[in-house]
C-alpha cells in the first residue's frame, strides 16, 4: 500500500508544530542502529511527529539518514534543516485529542 504524500500546506503545518519539539533521538557515530530505530518508532507511535538530531560525528549523510529512517519506520519525511530531521506518521490508535489533524 502506497502512503499518501503530504501536500505543501500539510508540510507547512507540521513544520510549525515541530518547530518547538526537542529531538527525541540522536544519530551518532554508530549510524542508524536497531536501538535508535526502535526508539524513533516508539515515539512516532505515541506522538505522530518527531524530531531527530544528527550529530557531527555521524557516519551517515543527513539526507541519506532522513530517507533511511523514514523508509524503515514507515513515516513521511517532513523536513531536513541543518542536522535536524522532522518525521510524521499518523496513528489512528492514539486518543483523538492527541491526534494531529492535518489541514
Domain-embedded: residue 103: no
- Give the chain's domain count: 1
Domain-embedded: residue 42: yes
CATH of the domain at 24: 3.30.110.60
76, containing H or E segment = strand 76-81
- What number of H helices and E strands is found in the chain? 3, 4
Instruction: Give the tens place of pLDDT for each residue, 35-52.
Output: 989 999 999 988 899 999
63, containing H or E segment = helix 62-73
Domain-embedded: residue 19: yes
More confident residue, 40 or 31: 40
Model confidence at 31: pLDDT above 90 = no
Domain-embedded: residue 100: no
- Residue 43 neighbours by CB distance under 10 Å: 19
Model confidence at 1: pLDDT above 80 = no
Whole-model pTM: value is 0.88
Domain-embedded: residue 43: yes
User: 3 pLDDT band (50/70/90 cuts)?
Assistant: low
Boundaries of domain holding 83: 8-92
Instruction: Give the tens place of pLDDT for each residue, 82-101.
Output: 999 999 999 888 777 777 87
Domain-embedded: residue 98: no
Domain-embedded: residue 102: no
Amino acid at each position: 500500500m502506497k502512503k499518501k504524500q503530504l501536500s505543501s500546506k500539510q508540510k507547512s503545518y507540521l513544520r510549525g508544530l515541530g518547530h518547538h519539539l526537542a529531538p527525541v533521538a540522536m544519530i551518532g557515530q554508530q549510524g542508524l542502529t536497531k536501538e535508535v530505530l526502535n526508539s524513533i518508532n516508539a515515539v512516532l507511535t505515541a506522538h505522530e511527529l518527531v524530531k531527530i538530531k544528527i550529530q557531527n560525528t555521524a557516519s551517515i549523510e543527513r539526507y541519506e539518514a532522513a530517507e533511511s529512517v523514514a523508509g524503515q519506520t514507515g513515516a513521511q519525511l517532513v523536513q531536513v534543516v541543518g542536522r535536524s530531521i522532522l518525521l510524521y506518521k499518523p496513528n489512528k490508535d492514539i486518543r483523538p485529542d492527541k491526534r494531529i489533524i492535518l489541514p
